[in-house]
Amino acid sequence: MLEGSMTKPLGAISFVNAFLEILEQTETQGANLDYIVLATGSGSTQAGLMVGAQLVNPQTKVVGISVSEDKAKMEHCVETIAEQTFKEFGAAPAKTSENVIIFDDYVKDGYGILNQETARALRLVAETEGICSTPFIRAERWLV
CA distances from 8 to 25, 26, 128 (A): 28, 29, 43
For residue 116, give the DSSP letter.
Answer: H
Per residue in 69-89, pLDDT (tens digit) is 999 999 999 999 999 999 999
**Which regions of the chain carry the CATH code 3.40.50.1100?**
10-108
Torsion (CA) 85, 91, 92, 98 in degrees, nearest 10: -60
pLDDT at residue 1 above 50? no
CATH class of the domain whose range is 10-108? alpha beta
- The pLDDT value given to residue 33: 96
Q: Which residue has the higher pLDDT, 64 or 11?
A: 64
DSSP string, 2-21: -S--SSS-HHHHHHHHHHHH
Radius of gyration of the chain (CA): 17
